[in-house]
Amino acid sequence: MKIKVAITDDHEMVLKGIVSMLLNTPELEVVGMYKNAEETLKNIEKDNPDILLLDINLPDINGIDLSKQLLKNQLELKIIALTNFEDISFVKRILKNGAHGYLLKNTDKLELIKAMKTVLSGELFLQKDIQNRLLSQTSKKIKDNGLTPNLTRREHDVLVAISEELTTQEISEKLFISPKTVETHRMNIMSKLGAKNSVGIIKIAIEKQLL
């Protein structure tokens, strides 16, 4: 089964560039190219892509709001922001509105394919530069406004490791704890954050400024 990909970007050169990049990739098929939010909303159900590569800066509706609209009806759709915006506030906002990944347009083919496969597996994908910026904020003190989940130091260590896309075994080796203990911490984090899976953990953690 090929991965069906659609692209929303108001620059024709970008659209053609991405299509050219993905050309001759047997596991991928580009099924739609849209120049704005209106075209996307009109055609996406018909084209039925597995993944939408979405620019944030669109001429009619911004990609953040469009993401929210699309996911109301396209429950299985995976959205990866593909943009020039490096501001962490944009990352947080579009993830909060349901996006599954965030890439800058300087990405290469290998990273783009990796991102697609990652989000299709149910995980969140953040480009390393973006991920590092988010993680750098963990050193800042967080003011507890009464709504911030109270994680233990070890739970926070596990949370950071999850955001780095480490497996249970890798977290176990990094923190010198057993895989069973890692899973216990993961379950406690999910409970405290009200998350259902690793994607939910990261989204809520970003929203609560824990990352």
Q: Residue 80 is part of a domain; what is its CATH number?
A: 3.40.50.2300
Whether residues 7 and 97 share a domain: the answer is yes
H or E stretch including 11?
A: none
Please name which of 68, 54, 61 lies closest in space to residue 14, comparing C-alpha atoms. Answer: 54
Q: State the pLDDT at residue 78.
A: 96
Total of domains in the chain: 2
In sign, the C-alpha dihedral spanning 86, 95, 101, 39 is negative
Tell which of 83, 103, 126 closes a domain.
126
Whether residues 174 and 70 share a domain: the answer is no
Those residues whose C-beta lies under 8 Å from the C-beta of residue 113, and which sit 6 or more positions away, are 25, 27, 28
For residues 49-59, average pLDDT: 93
Joined tokens for residue 103 = 């890439």
- Domain encompassing residue 68: 3-126
pLDDT digits (tens, 9 = 90+) for 120-172: 998 899 988 888 777 765 545 444 444 567 889 999 999 999 988 888 999 99
Joined tokens for residue 62 = 């911004």
Rounded to whole angstroms, the Cα distance separating 207 from 211 reads 8
pTM of the model: 0.69
